[in-house]
Amino acid sequence: MNSESSQFNINHVAIIMDGNGRWANLRSHPRVWGHIRGSGVVADIVEAADDFGVKALTLYAFSTENWCRPEGEVKVLFKLLHKFLLKEKARILANDICFKIIGDISNLPSKTKDLIDVLEKESSANKGLKLTFAFGYGSRDEIVMSVNRFFEKNPGKKISVEDISQNLYQDSSEVDLLIRTGGDQRISNFLLWQIAYAELYFTETKWPEFSREEFKKILDQVSKRERRFGAISNSSNLRSNIDLAKLNKATIRG
């Protein structure tokens, strides 16, 4: 980790990596060309997140809704995941990164599932960046799964917010910042529970053109936002106290 680390007060960043297909179409190429180009950006952003002192990075790689895409495009996405795991395994382990996949990966090829299993086990004790790929993932399914898990272990017991959080996918901690590339401004069933108090940032930049420099700029801008979590700012609180004191005096005089 270099001198750029620890300058941002953002622990967990989630990114919806959108715009690959449209980026390719604008250049008169097949959609899969955009996915191939976009896959090369992933390693750069993972490295940047580590350098910038981000503690957890969750990337939306493949949603439950993506199964409706053409079979050829889905197969390319499978191959790109496999290629990423092969290429980046050594760097993930060397940089003390803890790797995890959340979602339903049952339809992945066996060799890819084996790679995932090996990398998750070998990196499980690592203390650096927590890198999570959401693959075959849907947040509504995750929440339903969490509730079912709880009641299987605690039949008849009343469920709480903490119970749901504890039964979500492993390492699904609360998100501080959600970024979506590609210009669309929606969540698309991604980490609905975990982004309850997240800052949202939508950029027109399509994923194949998303850069370390833009990532740093977003982190810098969002770090300057005041996150109140339902409360009010200190300055607003001071004004409220002054106004309340004035109101009390006026009431007493009346």
Interior/surface letters 193-218, b for 16+ CB within 10 angstroms, e for the rest = bbbeebbebbbebbbbbbebebbbeb
> With contact defined as beta carbons under 8 Å apart, do 136 and 64 qualify?
yes
Neighbours of 120 (CB within 10 A): 14
Q: Which of 9, 11, 51, 66 is catalytic?
A: 66
Q: How far apart are CA 94 and CA 144, in angstroms?
A: 36
Note if 66 is an active site residue.
yes
Note if 18 is an active site residue.
yes
Which residue, chain included where needed, has tokens 């992933």?
42
Q: How far apart are CA 88 and CA 45, in angstroms?
A: 13
Q: Which residues are catalytic?
A: 18, 66
